[in-house]
Amino acid sequence: MRMPRDCLARMSFLRRTSRVLLVFCSLLPALAAPKVKHTTPVDGVYTGAITIDAATGAVLFEDNADGQNPPASMTKLMTFAVVHDKLADGTITLQTPVPITAQDASMGGTQVYLDPRETFSVEELLYAMMIQSANDAAHALARAAAGSTPAFVELMNAKARSLGMNQSTFRTPHGLPPPSRRIADGDLTTPRDFSLLCRYLIMNTDVLKYTSIRERDFGPNRAKGPQHMRNHNNLLGKIPGVDGLKTGYTASAGYCLSATAERNGRRVITVIMGSFGPGRQIDKGRARDLKAVELIEQGFAAAPAPMPAVKTLAPAPKPAALGAPAPTNSPAAIPTVKTDKTEQSSTTTEPVLKFRVIPPEQKP
């Protein structure tokens, strides 16, 4: 006995519907499950690091701080130190014109594309070297300050010795690797040595005037228009108080960073060298920057609080001459000292990071 066509159609429809429902039900657990975000690990590797208190030089953290490593473009901080000495002794001024040579223009790497037909002031080249990390600007400054690159490099090493940087050797004003590509033939330093240089610059020069700038145009009167420069220090404007100093990277040096920050009258300096991502990945300095932030925060947690300012309201009296009678109408004068607790740092007070912890739910 054959079933009517309408019954067969209804049974076929029910079978197809049941199959769709089974498939949908099987997908429900997957649809209901929360999405998992896969984040890139941030724990990288580095050859050495150190954090110091800028006011005292006290070491707040160190990890293989005496291990040698190429500083890459951080070398330009020593170039700045020597140029500053030449500015101080009057050999050059910020307005001294520096005609560009073919050798300056041939440096390669990061640059402001100097042309032998151009001339720039020392000040403009300093901005290019510290913001853009321009190798051509560093080479031009070395020539202007010492007459030749070899003579300038001698001054760099003499400066290093005077600062106690006994594990450092400089061979270039810019930090580019040597033609041999042998690490031993290039610039070498240690995190501890470099922290001495950073502290010297902060305490004795106007280096922060240059390193704190995030963006600036170079060569407003150039034939092809100015070049827009952007600071390579990713911590500027993102981490409270950070206003310097210098980054660096080459394949042999890894990612390097000398960073400094000031908060509420306290300043710390962190140097990290030879950094890479997990498994020595080329990570554009991400692991380096995150480690530097961690060390800065730890540094402020460990750094001693600044001493309160002390003001003398009345000068101490001049001592009486030997044998002179004591004054009869006034008591013995004692200098009055007042502690002014309201005096603040010259920099803007930075916000304090607060973390809200939710207590566990109480069971009835």
Known catalytic residues are 73, 76, 133
What are 182's two structure tokens?
Answer: 């042998």
**Tokens in use for 352?**
């304090």
The CA distances from residue 11 to 19, 20, 25, in Å, are: 12, 14, 21
C-beta atoms surrounding 45 within 10 Å:
15
**Cβ distance 251 to 244 under 8 Å?**
no
CB 252 within 8 A of CB 177: yes
The radius of gyration computed from the CA coordinates of the chain, to the nearest angstrom, equals 31
Q: Left (φ > 0), alpha (ψ -120 to 50) or beta: where does 278 sit?
A: beta
Q: Alpha helix locations (H) across 179-278? A: 191-204, 207-211
Return the H-helix or E-strand segment holding 246. Answer: strand 242-250
- CB under 8 Å to 134, separation ≥6 — which residues? 110, 111, 112, 114, 125, 128
Give the Å distances, CA to CA, from 191 to 5, 26, 67, 272: 88, 58, 7, 6
Rounded CA-CA distance 191/81 in Å is 17
Specify the amino acid at residue 64: N
3-state helix vs strand vs coil in the chain, percent to 5: 35, 20, 45
Helices 135-146, 149-162: axis angle to 10 degrees equals 90
